[in-house]
A and B are shown apart, each in its own frame.
Chain A
Amino acid sequence: MPSLKDLKNRINSVKSTRKITKAMQMVAAAKLKRAQDAAAASRPYAQRMASVVANLAGSMGEGSSGPKLLSGTGSDQTHLVVVLTSERGLAGGFNTYVVKEARRLIAELAGAGKTVKILTVGKKGREQLKRDFSELFVGHLDLSDVKGNDYSEAGIGLGKEITGRFESGEFDVATLVYSQFKNVLSQVPVAQQLIPAQAPENAVTIDLKGATYIYEPSQEEILETLLPRYINTQIISAMLESGAGEQAARMTAMDNATRNAGEMIDDLSMEYNRARQAQITKELIEIISGAEAL
């Protein structure tokens, strides 16, 4: 049975924890708003970019192979799995879900006899994956320098790193695993193929009504500049989505934590009051029986 003082200490400690979680929840809510706005602002560009790529890829003749970024190396033996997680914890199951999806993908690829290489972005994913797959790691990118929601530099850096590795023949297929922001309550981990570049299935292709494209300079040159940018755009929008998801997950997690702390304070206060009452009763009994003994 804890003493009154112990109980009092615990109540105070839970109270200050609740203050912290409450503050974190409010900070996350404010950041979520900004992250959501940034993600929403980048969406038109990403969508247009996707439909341009879809148009271009659709108008590529059957015979012409196009740049390697689009057609692939002709093999799918070596896979690069890029895992995008957050830099900070205390976001509920946010990172765990992404890592779980990554593990599933890695196991599936390994089971099919493929060679898997892992590149992590964000500290949390690295910590969790390093334990089991440290020998598969080829690199890690830190996101701690990213300020606000400006992922363009980090995204372009990552895009360069990935295309550079691809060009030097380190892998055949690159897949990005990240958390897609559905809404505040649900973030879904998804695996998206980056290289060979794929136009999303839902991209709007425009009917050219039989006409053929005129290209300036040539189709190959356009594709060569367009594809790396398309990959960068996909990475940046994934980062923005993941950033918004992280804040949403943290907000929900901290809301739960605040509520739990409140319940705990109620329980502990109840226990504290019972113990105090019991002690008073005990003292009274002692006084009364002392008086009777006289």
Chain B
Amino acid sequence: MASKLHFSLVSPAKELFSGEVDHVIAPGTEGEFGVLVNHAPFMTTLKNGVVRVLENDTTKMRLFVRGGFADVTPAGLTILAEEAVDLSSVDAAKVDAELEEAKNKLAAEGKEGPHVATLRAQVDYLSDLKSAIVH
């Protein structure tokens, strides 16, 4: 019996991770959940948050996802993220600058602009991403 979990994380832009791991913790909309090998079939939507990949109980990799889906099957765990970044490659200063810019844009757009929803989502995403870096 396989003792490792096959995990892959893909975003529309690229495949960020694919391989065998021990344990993955992902942010479901109804709460964070962990997946080990031989998990029961499970499907959930995800919220903005950090996906942690654990190897021998130590965090090996932290990835930030912006919404999406997680699909657990006997073949493994697949996360389809709207957008995803490896937190080790994120530049905190750049995120700060982008967040500032998005906030300004949102302020400039006012309350009824056509892009308000998109901009608000962008601001939420960036501030979530920022707090994920701090931890």
Binding site for B on A (CB under 8 A): 41-42, 44-45, 48-49, 51-52, 55-56, 152, 206-209, 211-217, 219, 221-222, 225-226, 233, 236
CB contacts under 8 Å to A, within B1-59, are 8, 10-15, 18, 28-30, 40-45
Question: Which A residues lie within 8 Å of B28 (CB)?
Answer: 216
Shortest beta-carbon distance, A93 to chain B, in Å?
30
Question: Which B residues lie within 8 Å of A221 (CB)?
Answer: 45
Q: Give the complex CA separation of A29 and B14 in angstroms.
A: 23
Q: Interface residue tally of chain B, by bracket? A: 20 to 34
Shortest beta-carbon distance, B7 to chain A, in Å?
12
A41 touches B78 (CB 8 A): no
A-B contact count (CB 8 A): 75
Shortest beta-carbon distance, A60 to chain B, in Å?
12
Does B100 make an interface contact (CB < 8 A)?
no
> Nearest chain-A residue to B39 (Cβ)?
A214
Q: Give the complex CA separation of A42 and B80 in angstroms.
A: 12
A52 touches B29 (CB 8 A): no
A215 touches B75 (CB 8 A): no
Shortest beta-carbon distance, B21 to chain A, in Å?
17
Question: Which A residues lie within 8 Å of B10 (CB)?
Answer: 44-45, 48
Shortest beta-carbon distance, A61 to chain B, in Å?
15
Question: Which B residues lie within 8 Å of A52 (CB)?
Answer: 43, 69, 71, 78, 80
> Nearest chain-B residue to A206 (Cβ)?
B73
A56 touches B43 (CB 8 A): yes
Q: Give the complex CA separation of A213 and B42 in angstroms.
A: 5
